[in-house]
Amino acid sequence: MHLPLPARLLPALLFSACLFVPALSRAQGYAEGIGLNYEVLPLKQKNSSEATFRGDVFRANIIVPLAVAADTSHAILAGLNLETLRFSGNRPGFEVHNVYGITPVLGYRQRLSPRTELTALALPALNSDLREVRGADVTWGGVLRAAYRSSPHRAYRLTVGYRQQFYGPQYVLLLGLDWQLGQRWRLFGDLPTTFTASYAATPRVNVGFNLNGINTAYRLLNNDQYFQYQQGHYGLFAETYLSAHLAIRATAAYAVTRRMEVYARDDQWPATIDYIGLGKAPTPLSSPIEKGLAFRLALSYRVPAP
């Protein structure tokens, strides 16, 4: 039997929910129950001094616990992640304009002991240019995550999973850490996808370094081609809390990995582990994109980690 959730327990449950959703909360040292962010990508095609253009990325996400046990030992989790990528400017041979991603999240969290939790998540996704929506546009995936808190200031995570991608099967293997070092430093993230080193300059202002990666793909109407979007950003950020839970962050980053290319439908990797492609690489139909800068502005509602 599920009982009404007392208001004083909501922050702890929201933290538990968000902690286990890599697509939404990035397993940060805090729970991001609601997030909005906008990213600007100055882009340039290789071997062309004139083919410069830009990408604009918009994302929104939310996750909440729906049914919670009276002792908070288990809960059903539900969420939604939305994104759109828009490209504009001179880009010959790069016939991608707008692509969209819709990812509902449904999962179950179980506390096995005072130190250990286990969470299973289903992660279906609709990724395409939405010019023609078909059942084949929906890809399926899921992850299983175990978390262990070794002390009040340190926790570890292991995430394994699988996702269908238009570039082939993707296997997920993430090693997570959340480590509070004294009063000012905190390290957290799920490598190799995310990592943050945060320094509390004042009670309301944090600065630091972060790694933020993405590797996904979208079906295009044109001959059932697909567009792969893979980036690994190393950046410096500054953020301030507008209230006890509302924070705004600005990040300037450099993409050490940047793959924004169009491929034929059946030209795929045999398999991918996170960012590492196994076997023979597919041949893109579009010109490769150079590495470069990225700028992000994010607004999020956070619950501090226990």
pLDDT at 240 over 70: yes
The closest of 62, 55, 60, 98 to 82, measured between CA atoms, is 60
- Please give the C-alpha separations between residue 275 and each of 121, 232, 272, in angstroms, as whole numbers: 21, 9, 7
Provide the pLDDT confidence category of residue 304 given band limits of 50, 70 and 90: low
Cβ contact 301:35 at 8 Å: yes
- Looking up tokens 């044109």 gives 222
Mean pLDDT in residue range 183-201: 93
| Predicted local distance difference test score (pLDDT) of residue 30 | 67
What is the token pair recorded at 210? Answer: 């972060």
Least confident of 66-80, 100-114, 136-150, 194-208: 66-80
Cβ contact 238:206 at 8 Å: yes
Burial class for 55, CB neighbours closer than 10 Å (0-12, 13-18, 19+): buried
Give the span between the Cα atoms of 135 and 115, in whole angstroms: 41
pLDDT at 291 over 90: yes
Provide the pLDDT confidence category of residue 49 given band limits of 50, 70 and 90: low
Provide the pLDDT confidence category of residue 3 given band limits of 50, 70 and 90: very low
What is the token pair recorded at 276? Answer: 């590492």
Amino acid at position 142, single letter: G
Global pTM reads 0.85
Amino acid at position 183, single letter: Q
- Give counts: helices (H), strands (E), the chain: 1, 18
pLDDT at 68 over 90: no
Q: Report pLDDT digits (tens) over 249-275.
A: 999 999 999 999 999 999 999 999 988
Sorted by sequence, the CB contacts under 8 Å of residue 37 that are 6+ apart come out as 58, 59, 296, 297, 298, 299, 300
